């Protein structure tokens, strides 16, 4: 006969209510949260200790990000030169010469034209805006809305007049305050400008060593990890590298294609400032979804003031560009490597922009992609560990 198992002694953790809440695991989780809160509280009290690290991060972030972008853009070309049996260092110098030549050509040939167009647009844009406002007022005066607005006593002519007056007063006050603050803030401005210039000067040096020794970095990180973890760490580093590379290279190529298509389309329909608007579309397209909205706004205002037919032609060009980009260019260049839902992208952009401003909008998506890779691998490791201690097959995770 089998021996009867001794009954477990009842304790606080064996009560039904505590077992329903999670038993011992609940208290372990609460203890971890309590210790985490204590650590955060202590860090807040001694935050001055980390001021040098904060300053170092602020100094390094700009040249570091620019160098990483340049690294992922030039790495495929450097690999091609190495396949042609050109030494790595000489290949880097050849790429530097090519990049300097391209930048010089753009500055000499394109920059003066863009500068003139931007100057003219900045001078004429207030007139475009006022003409658009007047067109809206004229439309309301000749439409059925005029009767309804008169019944409720809404005088939009007065509203437009007050809005225009307030806008000019705001601009005037802002200019006055800016002029008054220039003298007091000249030292800070020069300091910031000096920091930015120094950061930009260091980018080529950081980029050179990234291109020269970038392949050695994963091996260096793996050697620091315990042998048992190296396989998982290698997979994480590989996936992170793939995500960043596909996003940077793909987004730059897609933005260039959009800028070229918008410029050609605007030239065909006779849109004013076609090259400047195409350049704006290329720059803003680096930010998914929100960028095109920013780029199309000045073009819509100019088209509305020019003629209703121009607005129709603008809509046709923009629709064709978006269809070509969404159906052919992005799937071929970027593929499905990021696997991020559009709603998630929008929320990430809004959150990162609110927390970190423009840098957050630009770096939010690649940062989220890296975090997603890390969390996915950690969850896979958790599933493997959970299944190892689970006897019933129907209770195991599907791996």
How far is the C-alpha of 235 from the C-alpha of 241, rounded, in Å? Answer: 10
Distances (CA, A) of 35 to 31, 32, 46, 81, 109: 6, 5, 17, 53, 61
pLDDT one-digit tens code per residue, 338-347:
667 778 888 8
357 φ/ψ angles, rounded to the nearest 5 degrees:
75, -145
How far is the C-alpha of 284 from the C-alpha of 353, rounded, in Å? Answer: 14
Same domain as 268, residue 205: no
pLDDT of residue 159: 56
pLDDT-wise least confident of 133-142, 222-231, 241-250, 382-391: 133-142
* Residue at 380 is within a domain: yes
Q: How confident is the model at residue 95 (pLDDT cuts 50, 70, 90)?
A: very high
Same domain as 210, residue 91: yes
How far is the C-alpha of 35 from the C-alpha of 41, rounded, in Å? Answer: 10
Same domain as 299, residue 312: yes
Same domain as 229, residue 154: no
Helix (H, G, I), strand (E, B) or coil at 24: helix
pLDDT over 50 (residue 183): no
Same domain as 254, residue 208: no
Q: What is the mean pLDDT of the chain?
A: 77
Range of the structural domain that residue 194 is part of: 52-179+190-214
pLDDT of residue 182: 47
pLDDT over 80 (residue 179): no
Average pLDDT over residues 139-162: 59
Same domain as 94, residue 207: yes
pLDDT over 50 (residue 354): yes
Same domain as 220, residue 196: no
Average pLDDT over residues 159-175: 55
Same domain as 303, residue 364: yes
pLDDT of residue 178: 47
- Per the confidence metrics, is the pTM higher than 0.75? no
* Residue at 11 is within a domain: no
pLDDT over 80 (residue 190): no
Average pLDDT over residues 2-22: 57
Same domain as 222, residue 208: no
pLDDT over 70 percentage in the chain? 74
Average pLDDT over residues 62-71: 86
* Residue at 28 is within a domain: no
pLDDT of residue 1: 45
Query: Whose CA is closest to 362, among 287, 295, 288?
Result: 287
pLDDT of residue 230: 86
pLDDT one-digit tens code per residue, 270-312:
888 888 888 888 888 887 777 777 888 888 888 877 777 888 8
Q: How confident is the model at residue 93 (pLDDT cuts 50, 70, 90)?
A: very high
pLDDT over 70 (residue 149): no
Same domain as 201, residue 300: no
Average pLDDT over residues 50-62: 76
Distances (CA, A) of 363 to 46, 60, 66, 304: 29, 15, 11, 34
Domain count, the chain: 2
Average pLDDT over residues 97-123: 84
pLDDT over 80 (residue 250): yes
Highest mean pLDDT among 129-143, 180-194, 360-374: 360-374
């Amino acid at each position: 006969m089998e021996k009867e198992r001794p009954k477990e002694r009842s304790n606080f953790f064996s009560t039904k209510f505590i077992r329903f809440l999670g038993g011992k695991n609940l208290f372990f989780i609460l203890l971890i949260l309590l210790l985490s809160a204590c650590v955060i509280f202590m860090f807040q009290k001694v935050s001055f200790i980390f001021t040098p690290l904060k300053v170092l991060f602020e100094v390094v972030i700009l040249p570091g990000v620019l160098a990483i972008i340049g690294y992922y853009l030039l790495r495929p070309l450097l690999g091609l030169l190495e396949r042609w049996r050109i030494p790595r260092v000489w290949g880097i110098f050849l790429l530097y010469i090519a990049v300097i030549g391209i930048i010089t050509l753009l500055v000499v040939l394109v920059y003066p034209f863009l500068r003139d167009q931007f100057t003219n647009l900045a001078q004429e844009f207030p007139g475009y805006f006022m003409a658009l406002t007047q067109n809206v007022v004229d439309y309301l005066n000749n439409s059925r809305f005029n009767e309804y607005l008169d019944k409720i006593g809404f005088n939009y002519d007065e509203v437009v007049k007050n809005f225009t007056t307030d806008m000019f007063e705001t601009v005037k006050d802002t200019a006055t305050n800016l002029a008054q603050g220039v003298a007091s803030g000249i030292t800070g401005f020069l300091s910031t400008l000096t920091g930015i210039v120094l950061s930009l000067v260091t980018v080529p040096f950081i980029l050179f060593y990234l291109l020269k020794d970038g392949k050695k970095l994963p091996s260096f990180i793996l050697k620091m990890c315990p042998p048992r973890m190296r396989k998982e760490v290698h997979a994480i580093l590989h996936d992170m590298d793939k995500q960043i590379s596909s996003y940077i290279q793909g987004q730059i190529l897609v933005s260039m294609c959009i800028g070229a298509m918008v410029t050609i389309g605007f030239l065909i329909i006779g849109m004013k400032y076609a090259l400047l608007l195409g350049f704006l579309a290329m720059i803003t397209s680096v930010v998914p979804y929100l960028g095109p909205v920013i780029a199309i706004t000045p073009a819509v205002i100019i088209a509305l003031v020019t003629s209703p037919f121009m607005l129709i032609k603008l809509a046709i060009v923009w629709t064709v560009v978006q269809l070509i980009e969404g159906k052919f260019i992005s799937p071929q260049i970027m593929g499905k490597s990021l696997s991020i839902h559009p709603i998630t992208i929008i929320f990430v952009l809004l959150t990162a922009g609110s927390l970190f401003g423009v840098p957050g909008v630009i770096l939010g998506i690649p940062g989220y992609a890296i975090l997603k890779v890390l969390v996915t691998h950690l969850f896979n490791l958790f599933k493997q560990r959970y299944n190892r201690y689970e006897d019933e097959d129907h209770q195991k995770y599907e791996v």
